């Protein structure tokens, strides 16, 4: 189990790096779009679409690491003061919610991408094939499902008094 | 009660027709069937998703506009293009062919159609910050257009055109991102175009795809027979009414006077030669677009070409 | 029934301290499944549409810009240069937040871009200098909303186009209220820091004019950045997203030439910014699903309908409308709310003889209020993320309450003196 969690953490870190690459590409592409328009006089016809797709890719690729590092925004007004076993019970509840949501969203986004593949759906202006981009949604959410299941297991272990298996939570240097 | 989505903002006449249709349905059914229209996309739905939404039956009814579905059904987007007609009357002659194609196309998405709104044949013009009323003057200007077919058409005419959504058009003109906007002159006032572009030249009549009233099969099969009939009758009545009102020189003249009063300078229309060049470029872009939309796209295109060939000039 | 499910599940999901995006999203999915009926497919569509929208991409780009400026030490030098100038004011550098947001708001159409742009630069610098984090966040969250009121404004554009009101007049009308609110924000900061000395760093001795001058001389790269980010939008050379990308490139070049940026630092900036944006994306994901569920249920329309049917007097209607927007502001922010409610709210207000320009401004202020009303408030999310959750959502919301009250107070003021809004546009048209 320890090994699997380590693998998940590595995977999330790798996805973060891919997201950073998408981010660099996005910045460069928007910049080049301006250059092309003003200095070359030939604007990219479908740059808006392409940037939108890069943007979605970056956003979803970036989500799993946030989960691993427990960086996501939570409303902890009620739970902040809790200590001991009660704390772990609440954590388990929170993780169940997270897992449920991720599983549900995974199923929906899988259907969405698959249906678009069957239709051979393409973007409006550039006629880009859409399903490979759409497939990023289920792909990234399935990693989130795995992470949240790992955290659920981890919370149960902690309830039994064992230490957490996750090593990246709150570690800025891990990047 | 049926929930109905419409993307049209209330300041457009099409939205008023839609509301009349809903009221008519309530009256004809003695209040047994109520259509709750959500204007201006207020259900939070995007038209590009509408075919999927209607197929799943997530919303009961919707105003369908074929050109918004290019992602999921590209063949529906190649039925009709700007430049297909040169005078408003021709639009009325093409309507039956168009309607038949759309009814067939929508039924594949498990959408039942009950008439619709024939869009008014507005004037389409070029609205510029400086006087422009020929293709020669348009070269070297940055032009805002509304769809990829128009980008292709203007490319064929050596004019740099880009798609800018209606909501960004005002800012784009004000800040000089574009010099001119290709837009529906008749309703240009609603987006305050007179504040940012003072010159206008007429180009051609709007080749507007009809808005069809779509009912999801799920909602349709839930309705008893007599209410289905009510829907069909009210939809047909609205179709006939809007078709008869679609071409109206008086309305266009009144709108021109209104824009003059707002300070717009009306230039001479684009010359017949320029319009012919536009039509030729549009034809070429149309054929290309139809081909890339698959066999169904080519079929629809050919059906429309046949109907156009039979037009009286 | 719907309201019951909504409040219960929100409550249950919140008290567990679950990831907010998941909690909001799950609530939305439950509503779509059971109240709308088998409509969960709408959730993915809504998410896909927004995540592929070109305009939203300005937000991460501004976060990259801020992080690169930080990593290269440029933002540190700029704030060092400004410190002597602001020494004399109570609240000191906190005023730069409001001032810069006002200027930025004047060119950017979007509120969350403004918060991201100013926040990612301002927050780390101010906190490093000993300002209270929650106070900094609140000033940024509130300042960020000014972008919606000061033209050009997406909200006023959409109001004008959908309700057939002159966009030019609306833009003119937005200037005075925008500046007024900015002034009141600054006054509040000055007052707050006058009474709470612990919120801003300790006074040392007064800088001389020479020191102020030297400080200002050291910020010469600032005009370059301002040109790339603000100038290009203002002159119509670039959209907000493009300006953000120009800023990223300009900051990178400046960072290598003038600052101490290195390639590893640049790569590190992208990795941390992406992580930061991932958490914003997660909460956005949930927000979008919940908003889609509420809008497809027609709840906003239902609420406004309900006000319309109560047969209230003029000011009672206004009061009820404000209340409705405050309630809906908990679940929505920005433009979607406008589109959902205006079809009924606008004719209702017009039938009560309110001025269309005036209502445009008031409704835009209500949108701004909604952007900083928890639990769903993109400005707050962006800033809480930028603080790396050193400030929790609860603390940030609490510190923002006074700004929230100022905006409501301003609506009251405009109701008593509508001329404040209508004077300028009537003068020029
Ligand atoms: Na603005
Ligand atoms: Na809100």
Structure-token pair, residue C166? 């002159």
B–C: how many Cβ contacts below 8 A?
105
Distance from CA of A120 to the nearest CA of B (A): 8
How far, in Å, CA of C287 to CA of A70, rounded? 19
> pLDDT tens-digit profile of C156-171?
877 887 777 887 788 8
Partners of B4 in the beta sheet? Answer: B37, B61
| pLDDT recorded at residue B76 | 94
Helices in A69-172 by DSSP H: which ranges? Answer: 84-119, 131-134, 136-159
| Option in C164, C166, C236 nearest B195 (CB) | C166
Q: Which residues of B touch A121 (CB under 8 A)?
A: 71-72
Instruction: Please say whether the beta carbons of A89 and A159 come within 8 A.
Output: yes
Q: DSSP class of residue C152?
A: S
Instruction: Please say whether the beta carbons of B170 and B191 come within 8 A.
Output: yes
> pLDDT tens-digit profile of C59-76?
788 888 888 888 888 877
Label residue C108 by pLDDT band (50, 70, 90): low
Residue stretches of chain B with pLDDT short of 50 = none
Partners of B204 in the beta sheet? Answer: B124
Three-state secondary-structure class, residue B291: helix
Interchain proximity C235–B175, CB inside 8 Å: yes
**Apex CA A122: angle with CA A38 and CA B307, to 5°?**
100
Distance from CA of A139 to the nearest CA of B (A): 22
Q: Which residues contact B150 (CB under 8 A, 6 or more apart)?
A: B82, B161, B163, B182
ipTM attached to this prediction: 0.88
How far, in Å, CA of B255 to CA of B246, rounded? 14
Range with the poorest average pLDDT among C156-165, C255-264, C265-274: C156-165
- The H helix count followed by the E strand count for chain B is 11, 11
Query: Exposed, middle or buried: residue A81 (CB in 10 Å: 0-12, 13-18, 19+)?
Result: exposed
Instruction: Please say whether the beta carbons of B15 and B9 come within 8 A.
Output: yes
Residue B198 backbone dihedrals phi, psi, to 5 degrees: -95, -10
Three-state secondary-structure class, residue B167: helix
Partners of B182 in the beta sheet? Answer: B126
Q: Which residues contact C408 (CB under 8 A, 6 or more apart)?
A: C322, C369
> pLDDT tens-digit profile of C296-344?
988 888 888 888 888 788 888 899 889 888 888 877 766 677 777 787 7
How far, in Å, CA of A23 to CA of B189, rounded? 40
Which residues of chain A have a Cβ shorter than 8 Å from any chain B Cβ? Answer: 43, 45, 115-116, 119, 121-125, 127, 130
Q: Does the pLDDT of residue A169 top 90, yes or no?
A: no
Instruction: Please say whether the beta carbons of C307 and C128 come within 8 A.
Output: no
| Option in A43, A45, A122 nearest B71 (CB) | A122
Instruction: Please say whether the beta carbons of C340 and C303 come within 8 A.
Output: no
Distance from CA of B288 to the nearest CA of A (A): 13
Label residue C109 by pLDDT band (50, 70, 90): low
Q: Strand pairing of B111-117 and B211-216?
A: antiparallel
> pLDDT tens-digit profile of C354-383?
899 999 999 999 988 888 887 777 788 888
Q: Which residues of A touch B163 (CB under 8 A)?
A: 125
| pLDDT recorded at residue B218 | 93
Return mean pLDDT, chain C: 83
Within 13 Å, how many C-alpha atoms sit on residue C92's CB side? 29
> Quick one: chain A helix, strand, coil %, rounded to 5?
75, 0, 25
Three-state secondary-structure class, residue B162: strand
Structure-token pair, residue C375? 């639990």
Three-state secondary-structure class, residue A122: strand
């Amino acid at each position: 189990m320890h090994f699997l969690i380590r693998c998940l953490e590595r995977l999330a870190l790798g996805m973060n790096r891919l997201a950073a690459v998408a981010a660099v590409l996005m910045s460069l592409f928007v910049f080049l779009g301006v250059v092309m328009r003003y200095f070359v006089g030939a604007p990219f016809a479908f740059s808006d679409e392409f940037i939108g797709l890069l943007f979605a890719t970056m956003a979803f690729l970036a989500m799993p690491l946030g989960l691993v590092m427990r960086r996501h925004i939570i409303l902890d007004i009620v739970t902040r003061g809790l200590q001991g076993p009660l704390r772990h019970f609440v954590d388990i509840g929170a993780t169940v919610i997270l897992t449920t949501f991720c599983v549900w969203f995974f199923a929906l986004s899988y259907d969405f991408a698959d249906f678009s593949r069957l239709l051979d759906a393409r973007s409006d202006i550039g006629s880009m094939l859409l399903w490979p981009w759409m497939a990023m949604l289920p792909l990234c959410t399935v990693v989130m499902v795995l992470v949240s299941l790992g955290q659920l297991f981890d919370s149960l272990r902690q309830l039994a008094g064992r230490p957490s298996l996750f090593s990246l939570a709150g570690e800025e240097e891990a990047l | 009660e049926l929930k109905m989505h419409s993307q049209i903002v209330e300041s457009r006449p099409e939205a008023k027709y839609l509301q009349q249709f809903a009221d008519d349905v309530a009256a004809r059914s003695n209040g047994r069937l109520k259509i709750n229209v959500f204007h201006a996309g207020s259900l939070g739905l995007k038209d590009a998703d509408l075919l999927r939404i209607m197929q799943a039956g997530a919303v009961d009814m919707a105003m369908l506009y074929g050109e918004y579905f290019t992602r999921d059904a590209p063949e529906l987007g190649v039925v009709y293009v700007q430049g297909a007609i040169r005078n408003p009357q021709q639009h009325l002659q093409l309507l039956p062919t168009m309607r038949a194609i759309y009814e067939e196309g929508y039924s594949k998405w498990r959408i039942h159609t009950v008439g619709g709104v024939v869009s008014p044949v507005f004037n389409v013009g070029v609205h510029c910050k400086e006087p422009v009323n020929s293709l020669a003057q348009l070269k070297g200007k940055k032009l805002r257009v509304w769809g990829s077919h128009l980008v292709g058409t203007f490319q064929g005419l050596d004019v740099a055109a880009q798609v800018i959504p209606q909501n960004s058009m005002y800012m784009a003109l004000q800040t000089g991102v574009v010099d001119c906007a290709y837009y529906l002159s008749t309703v240009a006032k609603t987006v305050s175009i007179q504040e940012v572009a003072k010159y206008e030249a007429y180009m051609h009549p709007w080749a507007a795809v009809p808005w069809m009233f779509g009912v999801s099969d799920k909602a349709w099969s839930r309705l008893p027979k007599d209410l289905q009939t009510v829907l069909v009758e009210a939809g047909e009545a609205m179709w006939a009414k809007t078709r008869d009102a679609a071409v109206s020189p008086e309305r266009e003249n009144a709108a021109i006077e209104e824009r003059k009063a707002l300070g717009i300078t009306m230039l001479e229309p684009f010359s017949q030669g320029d319009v012919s060049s536009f039509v030729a470029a549009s034809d070429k872009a149309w054929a290309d677009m139809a081909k890339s939309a698959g066999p169904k796209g080519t079929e629809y295109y050919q059906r429309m070409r046949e109907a156009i060939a039979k037009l009286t000039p | 029934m719907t309201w019951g499910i909504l409040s219960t599940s929100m409550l249950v999901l919140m008290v567990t301290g679950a990831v907010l995006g998941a909690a909001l999203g799950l609530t939305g999915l439950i509503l779509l499944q059971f109240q709308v009926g088998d409509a969960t497919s709408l959730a993915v569509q809504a998410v896909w549409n927004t995540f592929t929208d070109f305009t939203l991409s300005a937000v991460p780009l501004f976060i990259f810009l801020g992080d690169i400026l930080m990593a290269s030490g440029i933002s540190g030098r700029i704030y060092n240069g400004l410190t002597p100038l602001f020494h004399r004011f109570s609240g000191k550098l906190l005023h730069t937040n409001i001032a810069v947001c006002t200027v930025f708001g004047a060119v950017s159409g979007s509120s969350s871009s403004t918060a991201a742009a100013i926040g990612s630069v301002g927050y780390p610098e101010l906190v490093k200098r000993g300002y209270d984090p929650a106070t900094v966040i609140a000033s940024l969250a509130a300042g960020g909303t000014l972008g919606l009121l000061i033209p050009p404004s997406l909200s006023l554009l959409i109001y004008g186009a959908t309700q057939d009101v002159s966009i030019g007049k609306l833009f003119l009308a937005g200037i005075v209220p925008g500046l007024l609110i900015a002034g009141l924000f600054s006054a509040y900061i000055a007052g707050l820091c006058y009474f709470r000395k612990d919120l801003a760093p300790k006074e040392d001795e007064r800088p001389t004019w020479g020191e102020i001058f030297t400080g200002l001389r050291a910020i010469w790269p600032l005009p370059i950045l301002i040109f790339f980010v603000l100038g290009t939008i203002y002159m119509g050379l670039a959209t907000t997203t493009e300006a953000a990308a120009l800023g990223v490139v300009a900051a990178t070049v400046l960072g290598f030439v003038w600052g101490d940026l290195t390639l590893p630092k640049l790569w590190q900036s992208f990795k941390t910014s992406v992580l930061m944006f991932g958490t914003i994306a997660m909460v956005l994901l949930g927000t979008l699903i919940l908003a889609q569920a509420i809008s497809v249920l027609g709840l906003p329309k239902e609420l406004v309908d309900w006000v319309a049917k109560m047969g209230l007097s003029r000011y009672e209607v206004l009061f009820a409308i404000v209340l409705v927007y405050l309630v809906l502001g908990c679940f929505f922010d920005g433009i979607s709310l406008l589109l959902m409610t205006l079809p009924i709210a606008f004719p209702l207000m017009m039938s009560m003889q309110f001025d269309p320009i005036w209502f445009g401004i008031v409704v835009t202020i209500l949108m701004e209020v909604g952007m900083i009303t928890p639990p769903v408030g993109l400005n707050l999310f962006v800033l809480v993320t930028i603080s790396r959750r050193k400030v929790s959502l609860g603390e940030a919301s609490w510190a923002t309450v006074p700004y929230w009250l100022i905006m409501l107070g301003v609506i009251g003021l405009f109701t008593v003196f509508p001329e404040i809004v209508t004077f300028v546009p009537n003068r020029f048209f």
